Structure 1
Amino acid sequence: MINVKILLVAGLGILLLSLGCKKDSGYYSYQNQLREFDGSTLEFLQSEHQYDSFLLAVERVHLTDTLKSGLYTVFAPTDASFKQAIENMNTLRTIQGRGHMFISTVPFEQLDTLVSRYIIRDTFPSRAMVLQDGIGLTAIRYNYPMHGKFNRTDAEGHVNGGPGVIRFSDTKGVIYTNRWSNATTVAIDIKTKTGLVNVLDKDHMFGFDEFIPRMNPTVSTPWNEFPFYIPGVIGLEQFNRGGNKVAYLDFSLNNQGGQYRPADQVDITTASSENGLKVGWTETGEWMDYTVEVTETGEYDMTLRYGSGGSDGRVHLEVDGKPVVGSALVMPGTGGYDNFRDITTTIQLTAGRHLMKIYYDFANFDLRFLKFLRKGAPMTIPGVITLEDFDAGGEGVAYHDNNTGNNGGKYRPSEGVDIDFSRNEGGGYQVGWTETGEWMNYTVMVKSTGYYTTNILAGSNRSDGVVHLEFDGVDVTGQLKMPNTGDYHKRQNVTTSVYLTKGTHVMRFFVDHEGFDVKSVTFRPLN
């Protein structure tokens, strides 16, 4: 077997060689002086025939009309930059055994993030950038911070006697300029009827220094903004970003189910009997990675929800490349791939951030989600409180529910709190059929005194739901209005902040006014 490290080194060598070989590609005939164009920014870029690749990317991310009519400053990368980046990207993809990608096939969210950085809100002529520290600029989407600084080059022995150049920088959200990615211009202040255009140097790499590693990652990253907390639930369709052979291994050529993440190769479809998502068409030897944050070292009950038309399916977990003792599961048949059941084992996990892999030792199953709960210990803050896991003790002690039965009939069917499967993405369960005056208690252990960002994940098709959180009988949030998301299983976070003291407490989730379903409460340190 060829050593992976050798391949990566070879790939980087080819990449650097390619960059060197292409240094003289492309040609610019622009004069670095003010020009005016009798048309929109879009029409200018179209007329020059040096920006066709950029315009294709702009069209894919639905910004064409923006350049036609909006007031923006564009830092335009030419076709030479795109060609160089695409060729280098595909050189490394070939070494990694991946198919080639092009502007038309790069994942939308990646292309959108990158292209947006070249289009700046409002018009900023170079004279606005002459301050000693330049000026901050804001990309058209996501409030992404960019930066511009105008300088004059030296010419004919005169310091600062040459043409003006803008240094356009991706700040990466940090204040340290030595960590910024920089590009320079060859033409500036091209005035159109709708804005300004500055042309980037031919040696500028599209996407600054991120395009190739983003498209050819060697390390996977979390699907969501943060790692999954453990204890907690992991919807198995939410494996890491990074693509095949990095964030997962899948032997099919595309997502055969076509659901949720169509650009990836993992096969995701609908679990129709539970109205959620599942990973299907599994094959022996495949795997998926998840970045997790284990809040406390200790024993955990690990539950896998799956369906199988056969018997003796087998999986195991690995954490940071090492098999987890006790995680190997032999999965009895369930009577069909859309008939689901739980299988539980006990494992030992160590606190901290880890890369967790689920590996298919013998694949004849579809997978819904994993759930982790501490054995005989309180839930931890920071962490996620899965609301179906209220304390033991029954009506009037651990919870109050206005009816005696579990209307959803799921997870804890003998108790009064109404629990159903959490539909759509994310897996797990949620508490529904809420009524005014109901509440649930949770014993929690706060690890450090301080402020915590608090996210309540809820959904509703009405707008009158209200809740608050209590710690040891004290209201710490005030009344929080639940959003109308259009559906009880279409969820969004209601965010507030709370001040908590270190130690063990009883948290109460109180329904001030009914009309919503709720899945979890997540606490993250404010700083």
Structure 2
Amino acid sequence: MMKKITYLVNIKSLLALCIGTVLLYGGCKKDSGFYGYENEQKEFDGTIYDFLKNEHQYDSFLLAIERVHLTDTLKSGLYTVFAPTDASFKQAIDNMNTLRTIQGRAHMFISTLPYEQLDSLLCRYIVKDTFSSRVMVLQDGLALKSIRYNYPMHGKFNRTDAEGHVGGGPGVITYSDTKGVIYTNRWSKSTTVAIDIVTKNGLVNVLEKDHMFGFDEFIPRMNPTVSSPWNDYPFYIPGVIGLEQYNRGGNKVAYLDFSLNNQGGQYRPADQVDIATAGEAGLKVGWTETGEWMDYTVEITETGEYDMTLRYGSGGDDGRIHLEVDGRPVVGSALVMPGTGGYDSFRDITTTVQLTAGRHLMKVYYDFANFDLRFLKFVRKNAPMPIPGVINLEDFDPGGEGVGYHDNNERNEGGKFRPSEGVDIDFSKNEGGGYQVGWTGTGEWMNYSVNVKETGTYNTYISVGSEGTNGIFHLEFDGTDVTGQLKVPNTTGYHKRQNVVTSVFLTKGPHVMRFFVDHDGFDVKSVTFRPLN
């Protein structure tokens, strides 16, 4: 039978009590001359969520949990929670808004913080499965995984000193955000004031009140002075850039927008860039005004000429944009955009630009705004696709059936790209823009001429969507299977994508990559190769 408690045992109070006992009884000692403090087992007759709600000092934590849709999760399943108090949130938000006041930006609160930022930070406080302090006593502690994204955290149990004895006091867990690196001096750490509180579906540990929510990432994420990539990685060029995925950083840092709010509200609602659902599929940037701009961090894999295609819609002629890279106009990028018949009637316009290899900051600048924008696509001109980089699978080799691809019927079921060929291509209907290959059939394949820049191992990410678990595929290089058969997860929709992740060893030089469908039942958008090191 669990004993219900309505308060936490304050370790400092226990330590003070022990010291008081020393004065009265000559010390907290056994006959051996040493007393090893034992943390009191604390139990709560309810779920993790019930405990947090009952204590009335985790209201901010619970509000954040509700915003990222984890309330029901903490009422069931098995988890270990490292709970930040209201004081942790107050300190973080006060500091954030002090800086935003200096920067002339509107204040933000838990209810208005960017969802994706709050989600990625909050999940670090909730660990899959239950881990008591007893399993964190190893010399190196214990590696832990967050409830979402498998983000690497770490727990290490130690005893504090008491009565002059090293390790004779109450136990404390040092909980660390590892930043994804093995060097402990780069970790961000916090300690607990109460541990191993047992609930019906897991354990709760309480972080010290001086801990600032988000470890050391909250303020720079909410108030960056330098824009940073939206998806953590730069966009590879050649590749597709969904224009709603401009950099993080806010107004006047990652973008300039003159409206007071996101008038479309369909994506990144806390920002001022106006994002709506496009009539044909996916998302678009609308309500554009002359002089506005958006930044994108890009990784250009090779110096050379690129075909740059912009997909847009316009209710009038003479819309104009140009690109800048690292503050300098890109020669050939200035476009005059003819009317398309309406803001939700889209067409492509293509030009040729010269780009230089390396990581750069690319700006899309509105010289005369009377358009809505979907995405930019860059294709290397008269050259194979470089690896590392991203291969968009609609860009299979020319040559037709039996040469560039094999498809089980002659009709392009999607018809949205290369409509005269048999591969079935549709618009990508969620964020990120571009196209995806669908209606896959068992035995179908597509070929891609590639150039591997350096011999080595590459982490490989294949972006897929499916409504079931039957899909299977593999990758070949020059006829050799380099991945083995890879199963497609159920993503709950053909346009709700996840990455299937593997690694491959590739040799430097030109190759032909083949994407082979071993069993149908999925859509696929792209294959991305990143160097292992």
Separation in structure 2 between the aligned mates of residue 418 and residue 151 of structure 1, nearest angstrom: 62
Q: Does 1:78 align with 2:78?
A: no
Q: Partner letter of residue 319 of structure 1? A: V
Are residues 64 and 436 of structure 1, via their aligned partners in 2, closer, same or farther at CA, if it must alter by over 3 Å? closer
Are residues 512 and 320 of structure 1, via their aligned partners in 2, closer, same or farther at CA, if it must alter by over 3 Å? same
| Shift in Å, 1:135 | 3.9
Separation in structure 2 between the aligned mates of residue 295 and residue 396 of structure 1, nearest angstrom: 30
- Aligned partner of 2:286 in structure 1 is 280
- Aligned partner of 2:459 in structure 1 is 453
- Aligned partner of 1:519 in structure 2 is 525
* SS of corresponding position for 1:114: helix
- Aligned partner of 1:302 in structure 2 is 308
Q: Partner letter of residue 445 of structure 1? A: N
Separation in structure 1 between the aligned mates of residue 130 and residue 485 of structure 2, nearest angstrom: 43
Separation in structure 2 between the aligned mates of residue 394 and residue 170 of structure 1, nearest angstrom: 51
- Aligned partner of 2:104 in structure 1 is 97
Separation in structure 2 between the aligned mates of residue 196 and residue 341 of structure 1, nearest angstrom: 55
Q: Partner letter of residue 148 of structure 1? A: K
| Shift in Å, 1:283 | 1.3
CA contact (8 A) 1:169 1:181 kept: yes
Q: How many residues align?
A: 499
| Shift in Å, 1:268 | 1.7
Are residues 355 and 510 of structure 1, via their aligned partners in 2, closer, same or farther at CA, if it must alter by over 3 Å? same
* SS of corresponding position for 1:214: helix
Separation in structure 2 between the aligned mates of residue 143 and residue 110 of structure 1, nearest angstrom: 16
| Shift in Å, 1:230 | 0.9
Q: Partner letter of residue 330 of structure 1? A: V
Separation in structure 2 between the aligned mates of residue 232 and residue 194 of structure 1, nearest angstrom: 45
Q: Does 1:247 align with 2:247?
A: no
Larger deviation, residues 47-56 vs 119-128 = 119-128
| Shift in Å, 1:88 | 0.8
Separation in structure 1 between the aligned mates of residue 70 and residue 397 of structure 2, nearest angstrom: 51
Given the two structures, how large is their TM-score scaled by the length of structure 2? Answer: 0.82
- Aligned partner of 1:211 in structure 2 is 218
| Shift in Å, 1:336 | 1.0
- Aligned partner of 1:292 in structure 2 is 298
Q: Partner letter of residue 106 of structure 2? A: G
Deviations 1:16-60 (A, max 9, x none): xxxxxxxxxxx9985456374654455554454433333333343
Larger deviation, residues 336-345 vs 412-421 = 412-421
CA contact (8 A) 2:284 2:373 kept: yes
CA contact (8 A) 1:409 1:418 kept: yes
CA contact (8 A) 1:130 1:151 kept: no
* SS of corresponding position for 1:101: coil
Separation in structure 2 between the aligned mates of residue 370 and residue 202 of structure 1, nearest angstrom: 47
Write out aligned runs for 1:303-382 (5 A). Answer: 303-382=309-388
Larger deviation, residues 255-264 vs 505-514 = 505-514
Q: Partner letter of residue 378 of structure 1? A: P
Larger deviation, residues 509-518 vs 165-174 = 509-518
Are residues 183 and 307 of structure 1, via their aligned partners in 2, closer, same or farther at CA, if it must alter by over 3 Å? same
* SS of corresponding position for 1:184: strand
CA contact (8 A) 1:34 1:190 kept: no
CA contact (8 A) 1:311 1:333 kept: yes
Q: Does 1:226 align with 2:259?
A: no
Are residues 130 and 442 of structure 1, via their aligned partners in 2, closer, same or farther at CA, if it must alter by over 3 Å? closer
Q: Partner letter of residue 151 of structure 1? A: R
Deviations 1:209-254 (A, max 9, x none): 2221122122333333532211111111222233333332222233
Deviations 1:365-393 (A, max 9, x none): 00111010111111111222222223333
Separation in structure 2 between the aligned mates of residue 383 and residue 244 of structure 1, nearest angstrom: 29
Q: Partner letter of residue 377 of structure 1? A: A
Larger deviation, residues 221-230 vs 426-435 = 426-435
Separation in structure 2 between the aligned mates of residue 342 and residue 465 of structure 1, nearest angstrom: 32
Given the two structures, how large is their TM-score scaled by the length of structure 1? Answer: 0.83
- Aligned partner of 2:18 in structure 1 is none
| Shift in Å, 1:73 | 4.7
Are residues 215 and 153 of structure 1, via their aligned partners in 2, closer, same or farther at CA, if it must alter by over 3 Å? farther
CA contact (8 A) 1:134 1:150 kept: no
Separation in structure 2 between the aligned mates of residue 279 and residue 58 of structure 1, nearest angstrom: 30
Q: Partner letter of residue 451 of structure 2? A: M
- Aligned partner of 2:25 in structure 1 is none
CA contact (8 A) 2:141 2:154 kept: no
CA contact (8 A) 2:310 2:376 kept: yes
| Shift in Å, 1:190 | 5.3
Q: Partner letter of residue 337 of structure 1? A: Y
Percent identical across equivalent pairs? 80
- How well do the aligned residues superpose, as a CA RMSD in angstroms? 3.3
Separation in structure 2 between the aligned mates of residue 167 and residue 311 of structure 1, nearest angstrom: 62
Q: Does 1:262 align with 2:276?
A: no
Q: Does 1:178 align with 2:185?
A: yes
Are residues 450 and 93 of structure 1, via their aligned partners in 2, closer, same or farther at CA, if it must alter by over 3 Å? same
Q: Does 1:147 align with 2:155?
A: yes
Are residues 400 and 30 of structure 1, via their aligned partners in 2, closer, same or farther at CA, if it must alter by over 3 Å? same
